[in-house]
Amino acid sequence: MTDILTLVFRTFMSQPAEQQQRSASPLSPGSSSLLLAGDPDTSRSLLLLAAVTAAAESGLRVLFFSRNHIQSLPPCLTRRSPNLSPDSLKKIQFLYPRTVEELLQQVAGLHQPSNTSPSPPSLVIVDGLEGFLSAPAGVLQPGETSSAAHLSALLCDTASFLTRLLEERRPGSAPCRLLASFQSQVEASATDPVLEVLQRYFQVRCTLEPDRSCGAAAAGRKEAWHLYLSGTGPTETSCSTEASCPTETSCSTEASCSTEASCSTEASCSTETSCSTEASCSTEASCSTEASCSRRCGDRPAGTQKWQLLLSPDGLMEFKLV
């Protein structure tokens, strides 16, 4: 799935042509499912870019599920691709289930021969999983995590089924890709059990985070985002081999850790590996969730791709590989 999303990023890159030669190969060539986590409006624009790019550039048939009716394409598509072929857009089929039950029924229907003729889809997109799974105000309801597991399992199983059909009808075909978006309804400081369930099924995660750096401020009126492509799991757990760096277990006052050695990709934040009495630090500067695990984990694990998205007020989107 990262091949299509990377193709989207490269198609709408803002660098000069000679800079576009920088390596941006997929993290895992065998990965075929990706979860896009972050702002729902920006995520929907990225999903539409992926759908149109897959149809226009690769000739793939696309199924796009959404609770919100798509009224228009992102401005960057109409401006950057003025000669976009209507035949390419016909390769995209939009379906609008209103509930998770309707979505499950429509996805399960893809196992019927009548819904895969004349050719099965090569890309399945689900916009806004939270709208199907989460209750209002982010209140966890009984059975919500099981619904997330049921839906994710069906989506992955359907993608595998469609991959077999594609291979039978055209040997050597690429696998059917699965792309979905999800906006957590839980505050950033808390753990979202629904997101944890979803991450068990999707091979790659693309995390959208606001870019509040000086460089983003220099971009003027453009809204800036960081996009992290990683197959290693969520941002919160990337600095530890087993879990994130909670304040309770990271560093004790007897053997607190230095900020330089607090969180690393080689070793988790434990007293055995990352804490030493020789390089102790004050309790305020030890491995806290806000400081070490958010700043240090900015140094993502090896293999993570980092992109920057610049979103103009008029809707234009530009990507930079950083």
Average confidence score pLDDT of the chain: 73
| DSSP string of 35-47, one letter each residue | EEES-HHHHHHHH
Q: Assess whether pLDDT exceeds 70 at residue 190.
A: yes
Encoded tokens for 95: 């379906």
Stated as kind and residue range, the H or E segment containing 125 is strand 123-127
Count the alpha carbons within 13 Å of 293 in the hemisphere toward its beta carbon: 23
Cα(36)–Cα(203) distance, rounded to whole angstroms? 11
Q: Which of 160, 145, 151 is nearest to 101 (CA)?
A: 151
* Amino acid code (one letter) for 36: L
| DSSP string of 160-228, one letter each residue | HHHHHHHHHHSTTPPPPEEEEEE---S-TTS--HHHHHHHTT-SEEEEEEE--SHHHHHTTT-EEEEEE
Encoded tokens for 179: 């792309």
> Going from the N-terminus, what domains does the chain have, and what CATH number goes with each?
2-208 (3.40.50.300), 239-299 (no CATH)
Q: What is the pLDDT of residue 48?
A: 93
Q: What is the pLDDT of residue 77?
A: 76
Encoded tokens for 231: 């197959």
The distance of Cα 157 from the centroid of its chain, to the nearest Å, equals 19
Encoded tokens for 103: 């979505």
Encoded tokens for 105: 């029924």
User: What is the β-pairing status of strands 305-311 and 223-230?
Assistant: antiparallel
Q: What is the pLDDT of residue 20?
A: 46
DSSP 8-state symbol, 60: -
* Amino acid code (one letter) for 87: D
Bridge partner residues of 226 (DSSP): 209, 308
Q: Which of 215, 211, 268 is nearest to 239 (CA)?
A: 268
- How far lies 105's CA from each of 63, 108, 129, 132, 311, in Å? 14, 5, 15, 13, 36
Q: What is the pLDDT of residue 189?
A: 65
Q: Output 245 or 49, whichever has higher pLDDT.
A: 49
Q: Assess whether pLDDT exceeds 80 at residue 43.
A: yes
Q: What is the pLDDT of residue 182?
A: 95
* Amino acid code (one letter) for 140: L
DSSP 8-state symbol, 269: S
Q: What is the pLDDT of residue 62?
A: 96
Question: Could you read off the pLDDT of 151-186 as tens digits, one per residue?
Answer: 999 999 999 999 999 999 889 888 999 999 999 887
Cα(220)–Cα(274) distance, rounded to whole angstroms? 40
Share of the chain above pLDDT 90, in %: 34
pTM over 0.85: no
Question: Could you read off the pLDDT of 217-266 as tens digits, one per residue?
Answer: 555 557 889 888 887 433 443 333 333 334 444 434 343 334 343 333 34
Count the alpha carbons within 13 Å of 141 in the hemisphere toward its beta carbon: 12
Share of the chain above pLDDT 70, in %: 64
Q: Output 199 or 231, whichever has higher pLDDT.
A: 199
Q: What is the mean pLDDT of residues 304-317?
A: 82
The distance of Cα 58 from the centroid of its chain, to the nearest Å, equals 21
What confidence category does residue 81 fall into, taking pLDDT thresholds of 50, 70 and 90?
low
Encoded tokens for 291: 């400081």
Question: Could you read off the pLDDT of 12-42 as tens digits, one per residue?
Answer: 776 554 444 444 444 344 568 999 999 999 9
